Amino acid sequence: MRILIVDDEKPARDRLQRLVNSLDGFKFVGEAASGREAIDRYNELKPEIVLLDIRMPLMDGLQVARHLTTDETPPAIIFTTAYSDHALEAFETHAVDYLLKPVRKERLLLALQSAQRNTRAQIQAVTQIDSQTETARKDICVRHRGNLLLIPVENIFCFNASDKYVTIYHKDGEALTEESLLHLEQEFKQKFLRIHRNALIAIDRIAGMRKHDNGKTVICFRGSDLQFEVSRRHLPTLRQFIKNS
């Protein structure tokens, strides 16, 4: 099975690579030194197993795991870390195993064999984050042309729900996600405001409102020609918000 090693410390990556190379039936195919690089390397290599450090700057391993498990055929994830306090969170992201550093060869073999017995289909997409216990994500991960694409939340203008998908309108285009609008609202309540039963808008992207001849009010954005209708129910709240901004 093909293995990607993710750790922000090179000595740790080198040691894991040596251990993997000493085991029959497993192949080291690449490494990454950060969360964002891990997504890029995953898209490039499509490994079956990811050995993933938890404590990394900017994007930690738990966030990477949640992104990876949104893929249609997600990899088996084995966390490697020097800290045991993340064990519960690790297993909540459906990791196959959890290894404490320094990782021992015998323990690594057991974890990899477990990953080999468990198919990737058992790693369910973990996109629902408890907004009361988790820090809001800095990126939304979506599937795009067979790969995973990270969209910075700061680049998003609007989330617009339609049927079973939510369309993400961002500065580089559009993307679809299966996450619910309600959960997105709960997670990003500090940055997004509901203007309609099917739309959330980025607070810091609001340019103002305008009224069409048909009597409908729409919201306008800074840096985009996008416009979205404001429902009568949410209009007073939005007016008050703009007035106080």
- Whole-model pTM: value is 0.79
Q: Is residue 50 part of a domain?
A: yes
Same domain, 164 and 231: yes
Asked if residue 237 lies in contact with residue 230, where contact means CB atoms within 8 angstroms, the answer is no
The predicted-structure confidence for 94-111, as pLDDT tens digits, reads as follows 566 788 889 999 999 999
Tell me the C-alpha distance between 207 and 31, whole Å: 43
Same domain, 87 and 166: no
The residue behind tokens 């840096």 is: 223
Q: Is residue 180 part of a domain?
A: yes
The predicted-structure confidence for 14-34, as pLDDT tens digits, reads as follows 999 999 999 999 999 999 999
The predicted-structure confidence for 196-238, as pLDDT tens digits, reads as follows 999 999 999 999 999 888 889 999 999 999 999 999 999 999 9
| Range(s) of the domain holding residue 48 | 2-122
Asked if residue 97 lies in contact with residue 148, where contact means CB atoms within 8 angstroms, the answer is no
Q: Is residue 130 part of a domain?
A: no
Which CB contacts under 8 angstroms, 24+ apart, belong to 98-106? 101/12, 102/15, 103/15, 103/16, 103/19, 105/19, 105/22, 105/23
User: Domain containing 215 — which CATH number?
Assistant: 2.40.50.1020
Q: How far apart are the first and last CA of the chain?
A: 54
Give the chain's domain count: 2
Q: Is residue 103 part of a domain?
A: yes
